[in-house]
Amino acid sequence: MRKSTQQPWVIFSHGQESGPVGTKINALAAVASRLGFEWESIDYRGIDDPAARVQKLIESHQPYWNEPILVGSSLGAHVCTAASAHFPTRSLFLMAPAFYMPGYESLTPAPHAAGVTIVHGWWDEVVPVDHSIRYARHHECECHLLRSDHRLNDRLSELEVLFAHHLKTYGQR
């Protein structure tokens, strides 16, 4: 793996029920590669505790990431957002972020990045779409609502377009 320092790396964090090479990550990693970004996907399988996942991302941080663009889905979005407070982060691209979940409302982290894009499905059965709207309003984030469910897999082409725009907007020096 080449250790480029010319532009930020894209770092993916998967959700609770998926893995580091899931459908969305594969699709978005292809977009990142096409646009000249290098990327890594952190493997959280077997780690259920959100705080332990955040710690793993913090410990995984590499200097060559060069203010990474953190990309997360569901719990992975929470992990990325929490970790952004611990090392310089260029931007956050968050899909169906697990914010304001019952019993964990006070653990919803504030973003520490120049740009934050949230994408959420209107018909999400796991994380209510209202949570992303509330978060986006409170933190003045860009927010896109798609006719989809929690996984967003039926809207991959739209996700790819939104992600490419995010990379072009926040990934250049």
Give the closest residue to 10 by CA, choosing from 35, 40, 55: 40
pLDDT tens-place string over residues 17-75? 888 989 999 999 999 999 999 999 999 999 999 999 999 999 999 999 989 999 999 99
- Distance, CA of 57 to CA of 61 (rounded, Å): 6
Question: What is the structure's pLDDT at 1?
Answer: 43
Cβ–Cβ < 8 Å for 152, 146: yes
Question: Per-residue pLDDT tens for 67-114?
Answer: 999 999 999 999 999 999 999 999 999 999 999 998 878 889 999 999
Give this prediction's pTM: 0.95
Angle of CA points 5, 10, 15, to nearest 5°: 150
**Which of helix, strand or coil describes residue 104?**
coil
Question: Count H helices, E strands: the chain?
Answer: 5, 6
**Taking the domains of the chain in order of start, what are their residue ranges?**
10-170
CATH number, span 10-170: 3.40.50.1820
CB atoms within 10 A of CB 150: 20
Matching residue, tokens 């290098």: 38
